[in-house]
Amino acid sequence: MEVTDSDAALAEVVDLVDGGADLVIECAGAPTAFAQGLRLARRGGSCLVVGQYTDSGDAMVNPHQIVSRQLDVIGSWAFTGRTSSSKSGYCPR
């Protein structure tokens, strides 16, 4: 996939995973990645935020998207393999 426009890239990914991802793992560290991750999650999906180790600024997020789409947003400052395996419970089996 070669898409340079972020909105087009998001649309392509959502289309490829049939409406959105069950679990989005944001590990880029950019505030815009958090907002994009929320947009990638399917209704009832989860967004695991592990990339925000420094205060890089605010993210433009519409809280209505979280509640109306019933998203689970989980943040973790630091994690081990044990932590990540516990978060894998958010993945479909």
The first and second tokens of residue 45, run together, are 């999906």
- Give the fold, CATH level 3, of 6-88: Rossmann fold (3.40.50)
Instruction: Give pTM, 2 decimals.
Output: 0.74
Q: Which residue type is seen at 71?
A: L
Residues in the chain: 93
What does the pLDDT read at residue 52?
76
Q: Strands 21-26, 41-49: parallel, antiparallel or unpaired by DSSP? A: parallel
What does the pLDDT read at residue 64?
94
* CA nearest to 36, candidates 63, 7, 76: 7
What does the pLDDT read at residue 89?
62
pLDDT below 70 — which residues of the chain?
1-4, 78-93
What does the pLDDT read at residue 31?
87
The first and second tokens of residue 5, run together, are 């426009």
